[in-house]
Structure 1
Amino acid sequence: MTTDITKTTDLAASDNASRVTALRWLAAVGGVATIASTFMSWTYTSEFPGDLTVYGYPGGLQVLTLVAGLVIVLFSLASLGIKGLGWLAPTGTTKALQLLALGAFGTTWFTVIAIAVELGGVINLEPGGYVAAVTSAIPVVAAFMLPDDTRKAQRPKELPSWAEILIVVAAFAVGMYVITYGIDTEYAELFTGYLIAVGFGVAALFKAGLVARLSGLTTKYRQVTLIAAFVAAAAFPFTQNTDTYTLIAVNILIFATVALGLNIVVGLAGLLDLGYVAFLGVGAYTAALVSGSTASAFDVHFPFWAAVLTGAAVSLIFGVVIGAPTLRLRGDYLAIVTLGFGEIFRIAMGNLDGVSGPQITNGPNGIPNIPDLEFFGYNFGESHTIAGIELGSYANYYLLMLLAMVLVVLVFSRAGSSRIGRAWVAIREDETAATAMGINGFRVKLIAFALGATLAGLAGTVQAHVQHTVVPEMYQFAGPVPPNSAFLLAAVILGGMGTISGPLLGATLLYMIPAKLQFLQDYQLLGFGIALILLMRFRPEGLIANRRAQLEYHETDQLDVPEKGLPDSGVGIAKAGA
């Protein structure tokens, strides 16, 4: 009797293993078929952007489907145990395959639907479009029929130091290429497909455990990581032929730098500041008034370094003046007061026009004609040739803003791990308990407020010269174009409070999406509101969260206890057999 049960169990297990293997091969075949479909014509007219009419040469959105299909094939082979591909999925392949399959399916079907909608019906699809739509569904069906193989990541095989460093450098090179590809997209359809493919792709890498493994390497080789990140970012302007997309990159850096400064106030100290963009405006207006603008009320022209220091110093003063009487408040009361400060600043800049107040800022007209920066004879408004490559004016400002961001990241990291940084975290977690332990809550919060204001003012001085003008409408609580207070706060929450890379990623997404998808500008607040709701539901700690936040928001996962069979019951035996 026992022998028969054993044979039956072994046969069932063998059949199940064969079914799983067949499904994995089906996913791989579906990925290959998806790749093949991109070499066919999807439409007969070139009116749809990207020229999807050519046989044998993928173009436009077809390239995204091709890459997604290729990654599906790699992970399918990894799930089959192909030697050398196991490192792709340290924690399992099923969930990663599901996400990758959805990414390829979503990108392909978005393209097919866009062709039908924009060109007036499915009649505009060539056979290749139908083939792509069908083949992209095959990996989805196969992946969602696979059993979950999530496991705990094993310690990876020790590699030589040069190989691990090479992996870190390659990861940053690929990441920079992906970001550059997104910034350089020429039309909204391609950028939308890019968001779908990259969004599901990155989520798949997280589920597979590959990102965690790379994070371990970057922690191990911290200096190499910092150098690789800086070099990858600095290489961006050298890949551009015009300043069109470099201007977007400059504004992203400005937005990200200000968001990182706000992260000190909100992420570390836990102070809800709804008027933070006003400090950016203080730095910008200060730089505009002292940099020799023809519309300035002061006949002065400070050199670059002096204008930057002046803008940062004035923002620091405003931070202390505003923070001293208000930081004794907490929670919603503090948020309302900071919101009022932001609105007071904008209205005051509009009233200093010589009619409602002194003639300082030209009121609603702002301060135009701000000259380009000049540093030791290097004019940032002129093109310069470096290593045989001509860099435009916005490329100069990009590199300058990159150095400013490095400074802000250094300040944030040093402050966060210092004694004052630990005091900020204590205040954020429980101000009453922190005060009882001897921390001067008011002084600690004032330092955070002042430091955040200084960093925002520093970014504002560069922004004034990049935009060549400052007007009050640029510094609203919520407006059509970031940076504004609502978008800055959303960038910190979306990316992950208390981290360095989180706000940088959040700011990049929140600036790049409206810049690329112009048709969404009237609905972007609605879209971001929906995105934040979904984020709070599924990933409240943000896209990139620190370990503390993950434990806090997912503490129930840490308390899960494996089920055990009850005495004299078949539960444990059934689970063991399964």
Structure 2
Amino acid sequence: MTTDTTTAATTPATTASRTKALRGLTALGGVATVASTFLSWTYTDEFPGDLTVYGYPGGLQVLTLVAGALVLLYALAALDIRGLRWLAPTGTTKALRLLALGAFATTWFTVIAIAVELGGIVNLEPGGFVAAVTSAIPLIAFLLPDDTHKATRPRELPSWAEILIIVAAFGTGLYVVTYGIDTEYAELFTGYMITAGFAVTALFKAGLMARLSGLTTKYRSIAVAAAFVAAAAFPFTQTTDQFTLIAVNILIFATVALGLNIVVGLAGLLDLGYVAFLGVGAYTAALVSGTTASAFDVHFPFWAAVLTGAAVSLIFGVVIGAPTLRLRGDYLAIVTLGFGEIFRITVGNLDGVSGPQVTNGPNGVPNIPDLVFFGYDFGESHTILGIELGGYANYYLLMLLAMILVVLVFSRAGSSRIGRAWVAIREDETAATAMGINGFRVKLIAFALGATLAGLAGTVQAHVQSTVVPEMYVFAGPVPPNSAFLLAAVILGGMGTISGPLIGATLLYMIPAKLQFLQDYQLLGFGLALILLMRFRPEGLIANRRAQLEFHETGQLDTPEGTLPESGVGTVKAGA
């Protein structure tokens, strides 16, 4: 009996000592992983990134170094190092496990890639084997007990410190995104996605992202200004237009996805032909741009071309929506899919042979001149603050302003009376109609507004691409944006939110652009991704509070622990 009492009395102390020892070993594993990146991993520089140098990490070694440093940082936070507990408001164990897995996955991906591309493990230096072993040490974190708890109110910081944290967070985000866009080869981008995916998920699980979200809510105006400055600073980090073009197309794709989010995410209208409105705006801007290939001898100034493209898209939205929005569900989806195909076929037949000479048929409208606004030629390089910006940088900044306009329209509309009517219609149209909401009128407004925003983005796209052809506006194809990609971006990111479709569009554009060998398997990959998403996170990557409570039975009315809610409007329906 005495022995049992002694054992029971010493068990908590023993458990605490064991937990502390495991955390210490995890920290040592992080140090060892970081140290291994300063060794040579391969004999030859034929593998991209030149991993042959001692004392200077390069290529994928940098990603392993970052992952190992994050493991060390959160292991020290788990050991109650003063000041570091702020990084893990809801606990460190889940974050440590994810970070350890990320470091292991990145390192082993690199080692396997070296062996496969160079013809066997004989091409590995001893440093490569050391890295493979040391990256497995932090996996000890999986033996740690779960210390997840409800986030407590942090110690009040001075206002200047909290503002500095916001600025640092957006600066770090700019660097991370820029690094991903600037990756020069597929192996590095794959490693970047592995590291970034595990790291971001770990920060969510640790509750750090929710804490940062609280700070941005507290200092909303400062956070908005910091976000704009960070986004606007991107072209100033580039020396050529090679990667700036990717960023411009991401902004176009994301802007159109956000417009579709009004139709799908707020109003609940499944539109499978939305890319046609992008095409309407692009063709309209191309035909009034003054190009010699246009059937109309007109040359509108920049502001007039933008307004014309948006207005024509609005008209098409009303004309198409008026007779079709009395349908619901799958029937509406089929009709909108038909409209998208009709648009593509029609512009392909307006070639002077099958129909009137308007769009040059399959040849499209080429040689679209660059935009000129108050004497500022967007196609020429300009020096700003001592830094030379190329033509695509000019279009990037223009498209950034267009995105800000779309975000403002989305947020204002979603929070307005008409926005609440959209949500009511999406949740239960019959009940909403019984409460006095004119369902047809409300849905037509959503359809028309979404079409207008798509047309606005299309006017810029036409000048960026300098040509428009029917093959650019299909339901599904190898190059985004198309209707399937746009819908996937909205669902993947999180319907009814602002940042969700932006993140979804960024991922869905960057992955095909960087991993060219996946061109033939894109739809398969997106299908699998959506299946996994609906199984494990049906509310999307970024979801609002109501969506999380709907899809996750937490037994309480607050946000599930370790997640980042967005105060968007509406909820997500699994079958939407």
* TM-score in same-fold range (> 0.5): yes
Q: 1:423 aligned to 2:441?
A: no
Q: Could you list the per-position Cα deviations for residues 379-434 of structure 1 after superposition, in whole angstroms to 9, with x for gaps in the alignment?
A: 00000000110000000000000000000000000000000001111111111111
Q: Distance in 2 between matches of 1:121 and 1:558?
A: 54
Q: Distance in 2 between matches of 1:341 and 1:556?
A: 42
Q: 2:259 aligns with which of 258, 261, 285?
A: 261
**Equivalent position of 1:123 in the other structure:** 122
Q: Distance in 2 between matches of 1:558 and 1:134?
A: 43
Structure 1 residue 6: Cα displacement = 4.3
TM superposition score normalised by structure 1: 0.96
**Equivalent position of 1:338 in the other structure:** 336
Task: Name the aligned partner's letter for residue 544 of structure 1.
Answer: I
Q: Distance in 2 between matches of 1:501 and 1:158?
A: 28
Q: 1:225 aligns with which of 200, 223, 226?
A: 223
Structure 1 residue 14: Cα displacement = 1.3
Structure 1 residue 15: Cα displacement = 1.3
Task: Name the aligned partner's letter for residue 449 of structure 2.
Answer: L
5 Å-filtered alignment, 1:95-106, equals 95-106=94-105
Q: 2:385 aligns with which of 384, 387, 392?
A: 387
Q: Distance in 1 between matches of 2:185 and 2:504?
A: 22
Question: Which range moved further: 433-442 or 303-312?
Answer: 433-442
Q: Distance in 2 between matches of 1:309 and 1:553?
A: 41
Q: Distance in 2 between matches of 1:559 and 1:117?
A: 51
Task: Name the aligned partner's letter for residue 380 of structure 1.
Answer: F
Q: 1:150 aligned to 2:148?
A: yes
Q: Distance in 2 between matches of 1:171 and 1:559?
A: 29
**Equivalent position of 2:132 in the other structure:** 133
Structure 1 residue 555: Cα displacement = 2.9
Q: 1:369 aligns with which of 353, 367, 379?
A: 367
Contact 2:549 2:557 in 1 (8 A): no
Q: 1:166 aligns with which of 155, 159, 164?
A: 164
Q: Distance in 2 between matches of 1:39 and 1:442?
A: 64
**Equivalent position of 2:562 in the other structure:** none
Q: Could you list the per-position Cα deviations for residues 195-254 of structure 1 after superposition, in whole angstroms to 9, with x for gaps in the alignment?
A: 000000000000000000000011111101110000000000000000000000000000
5 Å-filtered alignment, 1:123-522, equals 123-140=122-139, 142-522=140-520
**Equivalent position of 1:20 in the other structure:** 19
Q: Could you list the per-position Cα deviations for residues 144-181 of structure 1 after superposition, in whole angstroms to 9, with x for gaps in the alignment?
A: 11111110000111111111111111100001110000
**Equivalent position of 1:538 in the other structure:** 536
Contact 2:37 2:62 in 1 (8 A): yes
5 Å-filtered alignment, 1:59-74, equals 59-74=58-73
Q: Distance in 2 between matches of 1:10 and 1:489?
A: 59
Task: Name the aligned partner's letter for residue 134 of structure 2.
Answer: T
TM superposition score normalised by structure 2: 0.96
Task: Name the aligned partner's letter for residue 116 of structure 1.
Answer: A
**Equivalent position of 2:32 in the other structure:** 33
Q: Distance in 1 between matches of 2:237 and 2:405?
A: 24
Structure 1 portions without partners, runs of 5+: 561-578
Aligned residues: percent identity? Answer: 87
Q: What SS does structure 1 have at the residue aligned with 2:243?
A: helix
Structure 1 residue 7: Cα displacement = 3.0
Task: Name the aligned partner's letter for residue 157 of structure 1.
Answer: R
Structure 1 residue 8: Cα displacement = 2.1
Q: Distance in 1 between matches of 2:250 and 2:525?
A: 19
**Equivalent position of 2:87 in the other structure:** 88
Q: What SS does structure 2 have at the residue aligned with 1:294?
A: coil
Q: Distance in 2 between matches of 1:434 and 1:65?
A: 53
Task: Name the aligned partner's letter for residue 497 of structure 1.
Answer: M
Q: RMSD in angstroms over aligned alpha carbons?
A: 1.1
Q: Could you list the per-position Cα deviations for residues 270-328 of structure 1 after superposition, in whole angstroms to 9, with x for gaps in the alignment?
A: 10000000000000000000010110000000000000000000000000000001100
Q: What SS does structure 2 have at the residue aligned with 1:340?
A: helix
Structure 1 residue 535: Cα displacement = 0.8
Q: What SS does structure 1 have at the residue aligned with 2:299?
A: coil
Q: Distance in 1 between matches of 2:320 and 2:510?
A: 32
**Equivalent position of 1:563 in the other structure:** none
Q: Could you list the per-position Cα deviations for residues 117-154 of structure 1 after superposition, in whole angstroms to 9, with x for gaps in the alignment?
A: 000000000000000001001101x1111111110000
Q: Distance in 2 between matches of 1:51 and 1:18?
A: 43
Q: Distance in 2 between matches of 1:486 and 1:4?
A: 68
Contact 2:266 2:495 in 1 (8 A): yes
How many residue pairs align between the two structures?
Answer: 558
Structure 1 residue 558: Cα displacement = 4.1
Q: Distance in 1 between matches of 2:557 and 2:473?
A: 46
Q: Distance in 1 between matches of 2:11 and 2:218?
A: 45
Q: Distance in 2 between matches of 1:557 and 1:308?
A: 50
Structure 2 portions without partners, runs of 5+: 559-576
Q: Could you list the per-position Cα deviations for residues 25-79 of structure 1 after superposition, in whole angstroms to 9, with x for gaps in the alignment?
A: 1100000000010000000100000000000100000000001100100100101
**Equivalent position of 1:568 in the other structure:** none
Contact 2:314 2:452 in 1 (8 A): yes
Question: Which range moved further: 179-188 or 550-559?
Answer: 550-559
Q: Distance in 1 between matches of 2:222 and 2:411?
A: 17
Q: Distance in 2 between matches of 1:525 and 1:178?
A: 27
